[in-house]
Amino acid sequence: MKAYLYVGIGGAIGSLLRYFVSLVTLHFIGNAFPYGTVTVNLLGAFLLGWFTSHILYQTNPSLAAGIGTGMIGSFTTLSTFSVDMLFLMENDAIISVFLYITISVIGGLLLAYAGLRVGKKRVDSK
């Protein structure tokens, strides 16, 4: 039961953080490209990679579920990525479509790997 509470609290925090990042990027950069979604998904990929290698196995399972599944899971968003892609495709923004896919997929994989490496390096140095 404790894990459900932690996931719920983490989910609320993650979704609020995602909303905040979206507002900030909209205000400072604009809406010509889905900058907010790219930002949260890339940052989330790095954080989940780091969290997985650095903290996941060193903390209690309920807290790990709250941070990984709850907070980081609700911070990142595949559904918004999908809707953004449809919007770009409907507006014939073909270059933006390929740029968005490339940044999101390749960038996400590279940052998840970087997060794993950074977390593993910290664990190995202890």
Q: What number is the average pLDDT over the span 46-75? A: 88
Range of the domain at 20: 2-124
Stronger pLDDT, 59 or 37, i.e. the higher one? 37
126 has pLDDT over 70: no
**For 10-36, how does the pLDDT look when each residue is reduced to its tens digit (9 = 90+)?**
999 999 999 999 999 999 999 999 999
What's the CA gap between 123 and 54, in Å, rounded? Answer: 6
Q: Identify the CA nearest to 13 among candidates 55, 87, 59, 67.
A: 67
What's the CA gap between 105 and 14, in Å, rounded? Answer: 21
pLDDT for the residue 123: 60
* pTM reported for the whole predicted model: 0.88
Please report, as a single letter, which amino acid is at residue 30: G
**In the chain, how many domains are there?**
1
Residue whose structure tokens are 């495709």:
89
Asked if 101 and 40 touch (Cβ cutoff 8 Å), the reply is no
